[in-house]
């Protein structure tokens, strides 16, 4: 009887230890995941604003800009981590066109996210590091900003320009023209939802 009691007590202690360790691991994993998600969402908030601002200020004839969810992929030890968003542009007649290398028309055109256009990581102290490309060979840090600062606006984006020019010339968009007037009344819908998957399959 004593042996059975001892075995039961030891089993109970063992189960309690396993449950405690499992709980600690789960909480640590959840905290790390939430921390990473906050970094991704902060970085993409600024990237989406950068893309939308460039189109708004440099292209007339645009009625609406919207974004797909943020697609994360890789980072599992077998492939590099990537995160991408897909911009969509509507003209004033309601025509809809998906931007990017897997968009409405075949590229290659610019994709939008990491590692091109946006760099996101943590420094040695665990603080967020967010960098945006503003033109070829120029990157600026925007870690401390909740909204896009003027110095982080795109000054040029050849891939994005070529994409919009091709969409317009091939008739997918009508009268979306690069000029100084822009589209000041454009409606912009940002999207910071994070999903796992392949962004090029998004409709």
Q: Model confidence over 107-136: pLDDT tens digits?
A: 889 899 998 899 999 998 999 999 999 988
Candidates 46, 191, 66; CA nearest to 120 is 46
Contacts (Cβ under 8 Å, ≥6 apart) of 90:
62, 63, 64, 65, 66, 96, 97
Q: pTM here? A: 0.84
The predicted model gives 93-117 an average pLDDT of 91
Structural domain range at position 97: 2-201
CA torsion sign, 152 to 182 to 48 to 119? negative
SS3 label, residue 73: strand
Q: What is the pLDDT of residue 203?
A: 77
CA distance 26 to 28: 5
Q: Omega of the bond prior to 108 within 30 degrees of 0, cis?
A: yes
Question: Does 3 or 162 have the greater pLDDT score?
Answer: 162
Pair of tokens at residue 145? 């900003």
In 3D, which of 65, 52, 57, 49 has the Cα closest to residue 178? Answer: 57
Distances in whole angstroms, Cα of residue 129 to Cα of each of 33, 72, 140, 177, 192: 17, 18, 11, 35, 18
Place of tokens 């600024």: 46
Whether the predicted pLDDT of 95 surpasses 80 = yes
Q: Do 127 and 143 touch, CB atoms closer than 8 A?
A: yes
Number of domains in the chain: 1
Strand order through the sheet with 138-141: 118-122, 128-135, 138-141
Highest mean pLDDT among 3-12, 22-31, 44-53, 95-104 belongs to 44-53
| pLDDT confidence tier of residue 48, bands split at 50, 70 and 90 | very high
């Amino acid at each position: 009887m004593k042996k059975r009691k001892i075995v039961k007590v030891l089993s109970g202690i063992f189960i309690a230890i396993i449950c405690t360790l499992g709980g600690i691991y789960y909480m640590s994993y959840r905290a790390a995941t939430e921390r990473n998600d906050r970094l991704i969402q902060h970085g993409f908030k600024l990237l989406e604003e950068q893309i939308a601002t460039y189109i708004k200020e440099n292209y007339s004839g645009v009625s609406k800009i919207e974004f797909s969810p943020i697609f994360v992929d890789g980072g599992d030890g077998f492939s590099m981590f990537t995160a991408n968003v897909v911009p969509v542009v509507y003209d004033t007649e309601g025509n809809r066109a998906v931007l990017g290398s897997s968009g409405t028309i075949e590229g290659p055109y610019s994709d939008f996210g990491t590692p091109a256009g946006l760099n996101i990581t943590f420094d040695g102290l665990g603080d967020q590091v967010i960098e945006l490309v503003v033109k070829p060979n120029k990157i600026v840090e925007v870690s401390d900003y909740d909204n896009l600062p003027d110095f982080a606006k795109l000054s040029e984006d050849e891939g994005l320009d070529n994409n919009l020019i091709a969409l317009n010339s091939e008739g997918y968009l009508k009268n979306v023209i690069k000029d100084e007037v822009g589209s000041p009344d454009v409606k912009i819908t940002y999207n910071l939802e994070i999903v796992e998957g392949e962004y090029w399959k998004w409709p």
